[in-house]
Chains A and B, each alone.
Chain A
């Protein structure tokens, strides 16, 4: 389980990216799959695809919160959902597009001690 071991104190970054094929999903609430990554020292250590096709938006939100996600990278996201996540300490990088792999590589680079900071939305 990814919830049990990696933690922010140890430099692990838990990232969720709703996906649409190889790209970032355009709409968080209707995403069919959410990819969960644990990134540490510039490398992706764990990758778990979560199928959320049958789940209503509040359930998706609860899943993201329950998994202790620190950063959510997404395309469009409703203001309320964004507010809930941010209130619970999840950093939301919205309006992102393009291949998940590219975004993840940039995020992984940012977790390196000398890496560039993660750009805000």
Chain B
């Protein structure tokens, strides 16, 4: 008897059935499963049970879910197009691991895998289906981290300026125009470029990235345009450039402000003619490439200073996006911190749930000169040091804690109003030779109020 037969042996089955006859045991078993489990009847209503994992996934309690249409509870991306429940009832087939996205009661999009098995009567008619919904958020996060890909839906921001940008992003992506993304280092320019590519009709094509600031200028030209055999001493064969590699897709030119004047001219010519001549070549090569450029320095200022060509700037800045710094979108810090925490959990296999109030307050009071990238490093640092479920202040980098606490200790600048009040009180007190009764009378306030104000401003 093999393992499978032993598992399905009549004696084992009988004892399980005995347990299952006991309603409480059955509930215990179903509730101990980490996947959402429920039964859907022929009229698509949830019947019988709806386990605790299903409650957690959907946000609906069992008493709310049972008796309701499954599509009203699950709100799955497949419900209205290729409903797997239909398949089970029509063909009596088992559906396994169908990827989908559901919308929880609190409007969260949750990636899931749905499996369904038919429940048949004695005459082999499907009378109901058992639906198992597995939360795939962790796998999805891990996949994104591994592939360094970003999903439009994962960029969450409460900041009005960011919301404006995100709202426009699908329109920007649909067009074929050149995009210039400006913003400080670490604000997410590269991520935005990827999202633009993924939302565009070129998504099936390549996304090629070239950091113009990381490669010396003579190499940058051959890297961008490629070279022909014999172009220079070591050019033993033709080498395609990044433009050719990005044919049919998007070329992301990071730190475009670092390009030399000569290369700027070549790039401008490509943008105008959609053709370029590789190093050592004579014939122009055409490439269907959308250029998305980014700069962490203000290109307009560079144009004014004469270090960047105005005509290239206008060619690149057909669609201009300027990303705010993290300090300008402080309201997003808790959201981003939690998002980074989730990503780190997926990669490290840890289960850190949240930040303590004090830790979050410290993060909120920090200026983040390195923007989101610095926040990522801080959260990663905290995750490494945190052994439990909550990140505390002691897990944050020491220099961050010192900086924020040091700034808090500094006496805040008095407001102009308070400062003028203090000056007036001092002046009146001098005038009445320090008599508090006379000063209070002169100021039109009670002695007690004057005393409180004198105490507040440190007037003796």
Contact = CB atoms under 8 A, between A and B. Distances in A.
Interface of A: 20, 23-27, 29-32, 58, 75-80, 82-84, 87, 94-95, 97-98
A26 B76 CA distance: 7
A98 B68 CA distance: 9
Given A84-B167, A97-B72, A76 B103 contact: yes
A29 B153 contact: no
A26 B153 contact: no
Given A20-B79, A78-B153, A79-B156, A26 B71 contact: yes
A31 to B, nearest CB: 6
B80 A30 contact: yes
B69 A32 contact: no
A112 B167 CA distance: 35
Nearest to A19: B80
Listed residue (A76, A83, A84, A94) with the most chain B CB atoms within 10 angstroms of its CB: A76
B72 A80 contact: no
Interface stretch (B105-113, B128-136, B257-265): B105-113
Contacts, number: 68
**Chain A at the B interface: SS class:** mixed
A26 B79 contact: yes
A1 B80 CA distance: 28
B166 interface: yes
B107 A76 contact: yes
Contact of A97 (B68, B78, B107): B68
A77 B153 contact: no
B107 A79 contact: yes
A62 B149 CA distance: 26
A29 B103 CA distance: 10
A67 B77 CA distance: 25
B77 A27 contact: yes
Contacts of A78: 103, 107, 109, 153
Contact of A27 (B103, B105, B108): B103
Nearest to A33: B80
B175 interface: no
A76 B69 CA distance: 13
Given A75-B75, A76-B107, A97-B72, A58 B80 contact: no
Interface of B: 68-69, 71-72, 74-81, 102-105, 107-109, 153, 156, 160, 163, 166-167, 170-171
A25 B109 CA distance: 16
Nearest to B74: A26
17 contacts: A23-B69, A26-B75, A26-B79, A27-B79, A29-B77, A32-B81, A75-B72, A76-B104, A78-B109, A79-B108, A79-B109, A79-B156, A80-B156, A84-B167, A94-B107, A97-B72, A98-B72
Contacts of B76: 26-27
B43 to A, nearest CB: 12
Nearest to A98: B72
Nearest to A78: B109
Contacts of A27: 71, 75-77, 79-80, 103
A50 to B, nearest CB: 15
A56 to B, nearest CB: 8
Please give me the 6 A-B residue pairs with the lowest Cβ-Cβ distance, nearest first: A76-B75, A76-B103, A58-B170, A97-B72, A26-B71, A79-B107
B80 A25 contact: yes
Contacts of B163: 83-84, 87
Contacts of B68: 97
A75 B103 CA distance: 9
A80 B80 CA distance: 21
A82 B76 CA distance: 17
Contacts of B170: 58
A75 B153 CA distance: 19
A31 B80 contact: yes
Given A32-B80, A78-B153, A84-B167, 9 more contacts: A23-B69, A23-B72, A26-B75, A78-B107, A79-B108, A80-B156, A80-B166, A87-B167, A98-B72
A82 B153 CA distance: 12
B74 A82 contact: no
Contacts of B103: 27, 75-78
Contacts of A79: 107-109, 156
A30 B167 contact: no
Contacts of A97: 68-69, 72
A109 to B, nearest CB: 23
A26 B160 CA distance: 28
Listed residue (B102, B105, B107, B166) with the most chain A CB atoms within 10 angstroms of its CB: B107
A30 B107 contact: no
